[in-house]
Amino acid sequence: MKFNIVLALPEIFLTLMIVIMLLVDAFSCQHKKHLNTVLTFITLVGGFILQILVFRPGTSAFAFNQMFILDTLAEGSKLFIYLFSIVILMYVKQYINDKKVLKGEFYAIFLFAILGMQVMVSADNFLVLYVGLELLSLSLIGLVALNRDSTKATEAAMKYFILSALASGILLYGISFIYGATASLQLRDITLAIYSMNGENNTMLLFGLVFVIAGLVFKLGLVPFHMWVPDVYEGSSLATLTIIATIAKIAGIIFVIRILFTALILLNKEWVVMLQILAILSLFIGNIVAIAQTNIKRMLGYSAIAHMGFVTFGLMLVSQAGLSAVVFYMLVYVITSLAGFGVLLLLSKDGFECEKISDLSGLSKIHPVYAGIMLLVMFSLAGIPPLAGFYAKFVILQALVDSGYTTTAIYAVILSLIGAFYYLRVVKVMYFDEKDANLQVAQATLSTRTILFINGGLIILIGIAPKFLMLISSIFLLG
Amino acid sequence: MMQHLISLTVWVPILFGVLVLLVGKNECLARYMALLGALLGLFFSGVIFIKFNGAASGLQFVEDYTWISNLNINYHLGVDGIAMPFLLLNNFITVLVIIAGWRVITYKVALYNSMFLIMTGLMSGVFGAVDAILFYVFFEAMLIPMYLIIGVWGSTNRVYAAIKFFLYTLLGSLLMLIALIYLYKQSNHSFNIFNYYHTPLTMAAQIFIFIAFFFSFAVKVPMWPVHTWLPDAHPEAPTGGSIVLAAITLKIGGYGFLRFVLPIVPDASRYLAPVMITLSLIAIVYIGFVAIMQRDMKKLVAYSSISHMGFVTLGSFLFIGPILNTWGLQGAIVQMISHGFIAAAMFMCIGVMYDRVHSRNIADYGGVVNKMPIFAAFFMLFAMANSGLPGTSGFVGEFMVIMAAVQTNFIYALIAALAMILGAAFSLWMYKRVIFGEVTNSHVEQMQDVNCLEFIVLLALAIAVIGMGVYPEIFVAKMQTGVRDLVLQVANSKLGV
C-alpha cells in the first residue's frame, strides 16, 4: 500500500481553493467585483506551478494504491488544461460581469469541472476514471443550467443531464462486464488478464467492450450518439460553451486513450472496426448537417462532431504516429477554437449574445482585427494551409495513408471539402455583407486583447513552424 | 543574398503585404508601400531571370533547409527553366495590378493592395517550391486572398462566384494532397518532387495519381468540362483580380501538368494523352464558339482564356508522336507566358472602359474610338494579339503547338488551326462593336482618354506583347534545357524499373 499523496498535490490544492472560494463568495459583499476572478486566477496559476513541481520527467509515478497515475500523458494534458483554462478565464471575465450571471457560482463550478478533468486524465482505474468523468459532467451541466431565465438553457441542461446519465449507465454496465471477465478494475491488470485469456472465451469481455465504447463515444459526441451536442451547444451561454468545446474535449480524448490503449489494447481488432464506422458516420453527419445551421453555436456543435470523427481516425490506427497525430490535432483544434470563442465573447455585450451567424455581418468594417482573427479561425478549422488546422488534418491523413487506409483518407478529404463550405460562409458574412446594426464590440482590457492577439497569432505561427507543437505532442506519449 | 533570391522574391512581397495592412489607415502611404513591395519583387525576380543559366541542367538558386524534420518536410526552393519564366511574369503583372488599382480602388485600399502582394508572394512560392508539401501550402494559401479579392471588391454576383471558385479549387487540391502523401509512402518517405521522378509506380497507381492531379490542375487551367467556375469568377472580380486570375493563377494549372503529371506518371500520361488532347481540342473549338456569342466583354475574354489555355494542355500532351520533339512543350510554356500578357492587357482594357461607363455589356458601347483614340490603338494591338497575329506574342506559342501537332497527328493540327480563325472572330468582332461606329449613347460621349497611370500599364504590356512576338528567343533560350530534360523524363517508362 503506497499512498504517495504528493503526486495529487495540485488536485488537493484545487479542492481546497474551491472550498475557500465558496466560503468567500458566501460572506463577501456583492460589490467586490473582481475578488472571484482574482481568486480563480491564483488557483489556476498555483495549480499550474504545483503541477510542474510534482512531476519528474521521464517517469510514471503511481499514487493511492496504483489508482492514480502521473505519466507524461497525464502531466502534459494537465498543464495544457491549466494553461487553456487561464486563457478561458481571461476571455470570459468581461462577459460574466456583463451578463450578471451568478459569478461566484460560475467560477466555483468552473474549477470543479477542471478538477474533474484533472482526475480523469490521471486515473489508472476504472472507478477513478468514472469519478472524474462524473465530476466533469455534473459541473458542466451545472454551468449550462446557470442561465436560469433561458428556456433553451434549461432544456439543454435537462437533455445533457439525462443523456449523460444514460451514457454513464451504459459505461458502468460495460465496465461491470469487463470486471466480471477480468476480475479487476485496474487498467494495467485488465490488460494482463486479457493477455492470459489468450483470445479464448471472451464473449463477456467483448460484450462489455461494446458498452464501454458506446459510453465513451457518447461523451465524445460521435454519431450515432451525438444528439445532445448541438442542443447543448446552442443552449449554453458562450462562457460555458467555451469550456465544453475546448478543454473538456481534451480531457475526453485523453480519457478514451487511457481506456483503449491501456486496458483494452489487446482487443484492438474489435474496437478498430467500431471506431472506423463511428468516425465515418460522424464526419458525414457533422459536416452535412452543419451546412444547414444559422446559429453559429449549433454550427460549431456539428463541426465539433466532424472534428471528433477526424480525431477518431487517428485513434483507430493503433500506432504511435496515429496517437501523436491525435494529440496534435486536439491541441491545434483547441487553440483555434479558443481564439474563435474569444472573439465571439468580446462581441457579446450588455446581454446581447452573438450567436446567429448573421450577427457577425460586416464585422470587418467594425473591427478589422477581430474579423481577421475570426477569418484565421475559420480557415484553420477548414484546414487551409498555411494555418495550423491544415497540419492537424495533414498528420492524420498521412498516418491513414501510411497504414494503408487510402480510401478512408479520400473519403475524409471529400467531407472536409464539404465542411469548408460552412466555414467559408462565416467569412463571407464578415467580409462581404453589410453591417449589422446590433453588433457592438465590448471594450476589452489590455490583457484580454493581448492574449487574443497571441492566440490568433499562434494559429499562423503553428502553421509556419508546426514542428514545435508536433514535438510536444510526441513527448506526450513517451510514458 | 544571391543564394536567397527565391526566398526574397517570395517573402518580401508578403512582408510588405503585412506592413501595408498595418498602416491601413493611411491610404496614400499604403499605396506607395504596396508599389515598393511589388517593385522589389520584380527586381528580385528580374535578377533571377538575368542570372539564370539557360544551358545548365537541373535546379538553380537552390535553398534547402529542414522545416518539419519528423515528417521529412523541407523548406526547399529552386527553379529550373520551366519554372523561372513564371516567376518573372508573376511579379511583373503584380506591379501593373497595383498601378492599375491606384485611383480606381477607393474601398479598403490597404486590404486590397496587401491581398495582391501576399498573393504574388505565394504564387512565387508555388513556382519556386521543390518540396511537395511546401508547394501544396503555397498552392492552397493562395485561395484565401483570392477569395477575399473576388468577394470584397467584385460586382453584383461576387459572393456566389467567390464561393464557387474556392470550393472548386479546394476539391482538386485536396485530392492532390492524398496523391502526394501516397507518393511520399512510395518514394521511401521523401517529399522532394524530383525524387518522385524516379519512383517506380505501377500502372494502376499511376492512373490514380494522374486522376488526382488532373482534378487539381485541370480545375485551375481550366480545362473543359471543369471550367465553369471561370466565367463566373472573372466578370465578378475587380479588374486587378481578373488580371491576376487570368495571367498567373491559370498558369499554375499548366505549370502543374509540366512539373507533376508528365514526369511523375509518364506512362499514365501517355496512356491518357488522347483523352487530354480531345478535351483540349474541345476547349479550343467549342469554347471559342461560346466566346463569340458572349454579350459581356469580360465573359468573352474569360472564355477566350479557356480556349487559349486549351493550346497549353494540347501542347503538353503532344509528346506521344513518333518523333520526340520539344516543340509542343516549349509552345505550351510560351503560350502561357504570352497569354499572361495578353489576357492581362485585355482585362486592363475592359477595366479602363468599365471605370468610365460602369458596364461590361458590348451593347452599351460603340464609337469609343472617337473619344479615346490612344486607348483604341492599344486595344487594337491587344485584340490582334489575342487572335494570334504574327509579330505579337500570341502567334508564337500557338504556332509552335500547331507545328508539334502536325508532327503527331495531322487531324489535331487541323482542328487546332481552326481556332486561330475563331480567335480572330471573337476578338475582332467584339472590337468592332465596341470601338468603331458612331457614338451611340451619352455615356460614351463623356468618356475621357486614358490617364497617365493607365497609359503606363498599357504601354508596358504592349512592349511585352510585341517584344515576345518579335524576339521570343529571350525566353526560349532560358528554358530550352529545362524542357529537353522534361521530354527525356517523359520518354522513360516507369513500369519496367
Reported ipTM:
0.84
Size of the A and B interface in Cβ pairs below 8 Å: 83
Whether chain A has a CB inside 8 Å of the CB on B188: the answer is no
Distance CA A125, CA A102 (A): 35
Please give the residue of chain A at the shortest CA–CA distance from B189.
Answer: A402
Q: Which of B69, B137, B170 minimises the CB distance to A386? A: B137
First to last CA, chain A: 23
Distance CA A94, CA A369 (A): 19
Cβ-based burial of B278 (10 A; exposed 0-12, middle 13-18, buried ≥19): middle
Distance from CA of A427 to the nearest CA of B (A): 9
Are A286 and A344 spatial neighbours (Cβ–Cβ below 8 Å)? no
Q: Is there a contact between B68 and A470 if contact means CB atoms under 8 Å apart?
A: yes
- In the structure grid, which three cell numbers stand for residue A61, read together? 509515478
What's chain A's length in residues?
479
Are A109 and A143 spatial neighbours (Cβ–Cβ below 8 Å)? yes
pTM of the model: 0.89
Are A53 and A82 spatial neighbours (Cβ–Cβ below 8 Å)? no
Are B176 and B468 spatial neighbours (Cβ–Cβ below 8 Å)? no
Looking at residue B322, its amino acid is P
Q: Is there a contact between A470 and B70 if contact means CB atoms under 8 Å apart?
A: yes
Whether chain B has a CB inside 8 Å of the CB on A460: the answer is no
Residue in B15, B21, B70 to test binding to A, most A beta-carbons within 10 Å: B70
Q: Is there a contact between A384 and B178 if contact means CB atoms under 8 Å apart?
A: no
Are B263 and B489 spatial neighbours (Cβ–Cβ below 8 Å)? yes
Q: Which of B143, B147, B167 minimises the CB distance to A417? A: B167
Provide φ and ψ at A330, rounded to 5°. Answer: -65, -45
Bridge partners, residue B68, by sequence: B73
Plot region of B316 (φ>0 → left; ψ -120 to 50 → alpha; else → beta)? alpha
- In the structure grid, which three cell numbers stand for residue A181, read together? 471477465
Contacts (Cβ under 8 Å, ≥6 apart) of A15:
A115
Alpha-carbon torsion (B466, B467, B471, B477), positive or negative: negative
- Chain A residues touching residue B147 (CB < 8 angstroms): 424, 427
Q: Is there a contact between A390 and B147 if contact means CB atoms under 8 Å apart?
A: no
Distance CA A135, CA A120 (A): 9
Contacts (Cβ under 8 Å, ≥6 apart) of B225:
B279
Q: Which pLDDT tens digit goes with each residue over B48-69?
A: 888 888 778 888 888 888 888 7
User: How open is the CA angle A212-A215-A220, to the nearest 5 degrees?
Assistant: 125
- Chain A residues touching residue B152 (CB < 8 angstroms): 431-432
Please give the residue of chain B at the shortest CA–CA distance from A408.
Answer: B178
- Chain A residues touching residue B136 (CB < 8 angstroms): 385
| Residue-level pLDDT, tens digit, chain A, 479 residues | 567 888 889 999 999 999 998 888 888 776 666 788 888 999 999 999 999 988 887 778 888 888 888 888 888 899 999 999 999 999 988 888 877 777 788 899 999 999 999 999 999 899 999 999 999 999 999 999 988 888 888 999 999 999 999 999 999 999 999 999 888 888 888 888 888 887 777 888 889 999 999 988 888 889 888 888 999 999 888 899 999 999 999 999 999 998 898 888 888 888 899 999 999 999 999 999 998 888 999 999 999 999 999 999 999 988 888 888 999 999 999 999 999 999 998 888 777 777 888 888 888 888 888 889 999 999 999 988 889 989 999 999 988 888 888 889 889 988 888 888 889 888 888 888 887 666 677 677 888 888 999 999 999 999 888 888 888 888 877 75
- Chain B residues touching residue A467 (CB < 8 angstroms): 67-70
Distance CA B331, CA B274 (A): 18
Q: Which of A385, A420, A424 minimises the CB distance to B137? A: A385
Q: Is there a contact between B151 and A431 if contact means CB atoms under 8 Å apart?
A: yes
Whether chain A has a CB inside 8 Å of the CB on B104: the answer is no
Q: Which of A413, A424, A428 minimises the CB distance to B175? A: A413
HSE-CB at B256 with a 13 A cutoff on CA atoms is 30
Domains of chain A by residue range: 5-476
